[in-house]
Chain A
Amino acid sequence: NAGVMQNPRHLVRRRGQEARLRCSPMKGHSHVYWYRQLPEEGLKFMVYLQKENIIDESGMPKERFSAEFPKEGPSILRIQQVVRGDSAAYFCASSPGWDLAKNIQYFGAGTRLSVL
């Protein structure tokens, strides 16, 4: 959905570098989700944030990965000391936060991370 903006679309990093992925949710949406899509697999939930709060990070790897959604500005997914296994497409989604069970999430076009 064009309303959720992710940048960059493509990101190339060498092993050991840091990757920062940005996501601006749709206007009026206060809930942000990050998903990772590995080759030949579906999307796997990573983390769910509201403004200034991490609600659920049960899908985040224990080390090197962090996420934030500050009061002002986009949500950031940060991967420190990247390894080849981090190569994947990372998708951000947002929802307005009401009627959460029906939870229609609107997805960005993704950031494709390649680790050399």
Chain B
Amino acid sequence: AQSVTQLGSHVSVSEGALVLLRCNYSSSVPPYLFWYVQYPNQGLQLLLKYTSAATLVKGINGFEAEFKKSETSFHLTKPSAHMSDAAEYFCAVSEKSGGSNYKLTFGKGTLLTVNP
């Protein structure tokens, strides 16, 4: 079974600083990888996805992630943090769920705090 590890359950940055949220996965087949964001008391919103096209993926709100097969990583970055980026971020991998069907396996999440 696939698994996802997010290093650091809590990351704190200053406004304007670089954001780096780490995600490593284990997969026996080429993975499809996702980053979702969850604002307080809300559902998950898709930030970006990797589906075996370009290894550098750009998403919404200025976020991007780079797929590195040799490191089995899919870290999320943003050059300059904004206060509105404060939220919880989840990395996920698509995993077979019987036949040709798939389901998502999530990491435990990283809570991003942005300080003024």
Residues on A close to B: CB < 8 A? 1, 4, 6, 31, 33, 35, 40-45, 48, 55-56, 58, 91, 93, 100-110, 112
Q: Which of B23-40 contact A (CB under 8 A)?
A: 32, 34, 36
Q: Which of B14-22, B67-75, B95-103 contacts A (4 or more CB under 8 A)?
A: B95-103
Do A55 and B98 touch across chains, with their CB atoms under 8 A apart?
yes
The answer to whether A101 and B102 touch (CB under 8 A), given A41-B108, A42-B108, is yes
Interface residue count on the B side (C-beta < 8 Å): 28
**CB-CB < 8 A to A45: which residues of B?**
97, 103-105
Cα distance A44–B109 in the bound complex, in angstroms? 12
The answer to whether A4 and B103 touch (CB under 8 A), given A55-B97, A101-B32, A103-B32, is no
Do A100 and B45 touch across chains, with their CB atoms under 8 A apart?
no
**CB-CB < 8 A to B101: which residues of A?**
31, 48, 55-56, 100
Do B42 and A56 touch across chains, with their CB atoms under 8 A apart?
no
**CB-CB < 8 A to A48: which residues of B?**
97-98, 101, 103
Q: B63 at the A/B interface (Cβ < 8 Å)?
A: no
**CB-CB < 8 A to B42: which residues of A?**
109-110
Cα distance A68–B40 in the bound complex, in angstroms? 28
Q: Output the nearest chain B residue to A41 by Cβ-Cβ distance.
A: B108
**CB-CB < 8 A to B9: which residues of A?**
40
Do A56 and B103 touch across chains, with their CB atoms under 8 A apart?
yes
Cα distance A67–B9 in the bound complex, in angstroms? 31
Cα distance A93–B108 in the bound complex, in angstroms? 18
**CB-CB < 8 A to B51: which residues of A?**
101-102
A107: contacting residue among B43, B97, B102, CB under 8 A: B43
Q: B113 at the A/B interface (Cβ < 8 Å)?
A: no
Q: Please list 28 pairs of residues, one from A and one from B, whose beta carbons are closer than 8 Å in the complex, sorted by A's number.
A: A1-B45, A6-B43, A33-B103, A40-B9, A42-B90, A42-B107, A42-B108, A45-B97, A45-B103, A48-B101, A55-B98, A56-B98, A56-B103, A58-B97, A93-B44, A93-B104, A101-B102, A102-B49, A102-B51, A103-B32, A104-B34, A105-B104, A108-B43, A109-B42, A109-B43, A110-B42, A110-B43, A112-B41
The answer to whether A102 and B94 touch (CB under 8 A), given A33-B103, A33-B104, A48-B103, is yes
